[in-house]
Amino acid sequence: MAKKIAPAANLKQILRRCSSLGRRQQQQGAVPRGHFPVYVGESRRRYVVPIACLEHPDFLVLLRKAEEEFGFEHDAVITLPCHEADFEALLAALTA
What band does 85 get if pLDDT is binned at 50, 70 and 90? very high
Residues 30, 41 contacting (CB under 8 angstroms): no
Classify residue 56 by its DSSP letter: S
**pLDDT bracket for residue 22 (50, 70, 90):** very low
Domain boundaries, the chain: 35-95
The arithmetic mean of pLDDT across residues 19-39, rounded, is 71
**Band of pLDDT at residue 90, cut at 50, 70 and 90:** very high
User: Is residue 85 packed enough to be buried (19+ CB in 10 Å), middle (13-18) or exposed (0-12)?
Assistant: exposed
Edge-first strand listing for the sheet containing 35-40: 45-50, 35-40, 78-80
Q: Convert the pLDDT of each residue in 50-81 to its tens digit.
A: 999 999 999 999 999 988 888 877 667 889 99
What was the pLDDT predicted at 35?
95
What is the residue-averaged pLDDT of the chain?
79
Q: Provide the 3-class DSSP secondary structure of residue 3.
A: coil
Residue 86, pLDDT score: 94
